[in-house]
Amino acid sequence: MTIENAFTDLSPEPLSADDLADFTPKPPVRSSVEPPAIQLERAAESHGFTLNNFPAAKRKTLRTGRVASKYKAEPMSLRLRVADWNRFSTFCENQGLTVADGFAHILNKLGI
C-alpha cells in the first residue's frame, strides 16, 4: 500500500525576473492641502477655542501635607540601615521637606 502526498502540488514555483518586469508601485495619494498648525491654532483661538486646554500642573501634596519638589528627581536605589532611614525620614517630616529637599539641605549644611 502506498500513500500519496496530497501537499506536493502546493509548493509555489520560484518567481523569475520577468514576472516582476511590469510592476510599478502606486503613486502616493495626495490629500487636500492642509493648513499649517499655526493657522489652525489662530483659527481656533479666533473662535474661542484653545488647543492647549489642559489645566496647569499642580505640585503634588503628599500624605503628610508636604508639597512635592518642583525640581525633576532622578530615581535611585540606596542601601541604608533602617534606623538611619527612620531618622532621616523623621527629620524630613519635622522640617516639612521632601526626601530630595532634605538630602539637599543636609548637603548644604555640610558645605558639599
Instruction: Find the radius of gyration of the CA atoms of the chain.
Output: 34
Q: Where are the alpha helices (DSSP H) in 1-112?
A: 37-46, 82-95, 99-110
Q: Within 10 A of 92 (CB to CB), how many other CB atoms are there?
A: 20
Q: What is the pLDDT of residue 66?
A: 61
Q: What is the pLDDT of residue 27?
A: 86
Please write the tens of the pLDDT for every residue from 18-50.
Answer: 677 777 888 887 766 766 777 877 888 888 887
Please write the tens of the pLDDT for every residue from 47-96.
Answer: 888 766 666 666 666 566 666 666 666 788 889 999 999 999 999 988 88
Q: What is the pLDDT of residue 4?
A: 79
Measured CA to CA in angstroms, residue 108 lies from 69, 87, 112 at distances of: 17, 18, 6
Q: What is the pLDDT of residue 45?
A: 83
- Of 97, 106, 15, 28, which is closest to residue 62 (Cα–Cα)? 97
DSSP helix/strand/coil, 106: helix
pTM of the full structure:
0.37
Q: Within 10 A of 102 (CB to CB), how many other CB atoms are there?
A: 18
